[in-house]
A and B are shown apart, each in its own frame.
Chain A
Amino acid sequence: MKKIILALTLLTTLSFAQVKEDIAVPYIPYEVKMGKNFIDVQANCLSCHSFGYIINQGPQSRKFWAGKVKKMIVHFKAPIDKKTANLITDYLAAYYGNGK
């Protein structure tokens, strides 16, 4: 009987928090295209979001990508200067562009 009570107590305690340790969010190595200015993309974009965000948009116009970079600077306060912003846009338009 004592054993049974112990087992029950243990069960109740466990049900309070399912995860008592750190959870580990997996790292996904996205197959991102290498090319000119990639280093700027890596240095500036990855601090806030994975390459999944870029790939998921599909091929887009230069204007679309320029707008995205601007949004990161204006609304999300990414510390990216004008020159680097252009380099990043060049990369996005070249490797994730739709020719427009």
Chain B
Amino acid sequence: MKRRDFLKTSMVGVGAAALGSSLEAAQTIQPIDNRRVSKVAFPEKRPMITYSDRPPLLESTRDVFAQGITPNDQFFVRWHMPEIPTHIDEKTFRLSVNGEVKNKLSFSLDQLKNDFEPVEVTSVLQCGGNGRSAFKPVAGGVQWGNGAMGCARWKGVRLRDILERAGLKKDAEWIGFNGLDNAAYYETPNFVREMHIDELDDHVIVAFEMNGEDLPYLNGYPLRLVIPGHYSDSWVKMLSNLTVTSKYQKLFFMDVAYRIPDNDCECEEPGQKFKTTKPIDRMNVKSIIGYPTNNTIVYHNSHITVRGVAFDEGKGIRAVVVSTDNGKTWKEALLDSGKEGRYAFREFRFRFKPQKHGKQTIMSKAISLDGKEQPLASQIKWNHGGYKYNGVDVVTVEVV
């Protein structure tokens, strides 16, 4: 910690103390990890941790992250609107392109699959609120554990290629994305997202395939926007419409939701909202242990292979380090080849032989190529939306 940071922190501490006990002091702990999967399976999914059926909110369990590719039927689900089409006819479905374009076009699924160069990218998809249950006092929103994320091989066409076909007009600045989900009330804002033309690179694709299959309905069949490195709030599902505009449109899901304090620590004190905010934008560096899971019973002196995944916004992972002595010392884990590319989960593994009986913690910390590393949960400061949790992962097993 730099001295200036320390001073700032202590000032905040004094401030909170002076205000007395009416304000609950913020602290960050490990996200809730013991939630059980539901007895009920959703369409094309295995039973998952289920927060809501309408809109569907499903979370992957920790063990899913022992592997670098998340199976479609275990991939997390998050919708914002209660009305989701339960049937899409692949023959009549169209993706429309309109607004500030030379030719207003609409494409069938067959056209998208056959008339464009297909491209593939392996990328992590993570909710900005993943791990939100770590924040105390409770930050508004779904109290996710660690499993509002996954990594898949996405196949589709470049957004740029689609827009080129339509031809952008000179004053085109923003692209608005809308899907087929709807609110219960006409007045409720649609889940529309916007992207500035400058952010458009070749990695942004309109995907029609996920891990070699159609996208599951609950993950956005038949088309979904894929924006590697960015949180999933921009990855519009059941994408049906692209509107190009010259001016930014005011939108709830852009201007109010999915925003964090616009300061260096991206933090604020509970009850004292920081006055300016910014979008959650790109993902920070993170690792999760997929095996063992909490409360696993392992034998003393047995050989354990700890497995997990690490990722960041696409800068790349330099190392994952593991500690089995509560963070006193750290050893490097083995990383996979990285052949899935810089936006994908990197698998790590670490051999470990527990020597002592009783509770044993295993901690993992990812370090990115640009030198960023995961802070301890307790070092992460509060924000009102509970976004971007990326604490060092901790799993506790029982050695017998």
Contacts and interface: CB of A to CB of B under 8 A. Distances in A.
Contacts of B107: none
Contacts of B187: 77
A21 B54 contact: no
A60 B138 contact: yes
Interface size class of B (residues with CB under 8 A): 35 or more
Interface string A42-82: 00000111101100111010001001100100011111000
B256 interface: yes
Interface string A5-47: 0000000000011110111111110000000000000000001
Interface in B170-189: 183-185, 187-189
Contacts of B84: 25
A58 B51 CA distance: 12
B138 A57 contact: yes
B95 to A, nearest CB: 16
B28 to A, nearest CB: 16
Contact of A18 (B41, B44, B50, B55): B44
Interface size class of A (residues with CB under 8 A): 20 to 34
A98 B184 CA distance: 30
Given A49-B55, A52-B50, A52-B57, A23 B213 contact: no
A77 B52 contact: no
Contact of A25 (B51, B56, B183, B216): B56
Nearest to A75: B252
B277 to A, nearest CB: 14
Contact of A19 (B42, B43, B184): B43
A76 B252 CA distance: 9
Contact of A76 (B87, B183, B221): B183
A25 B185 contact: no
A49 B84 CA distance: 12
B43 A24 contact: yes
A49 B184 CA distance: 9
Nearest to B213: A18
13 contacts: A19-B217, A22-B86, A23-B44, A23-B86, A28-B50, A47-B184, A48-B184, A48-B185, A56-B142, A56-B143, A68-B140, A75-B257, A76-B188
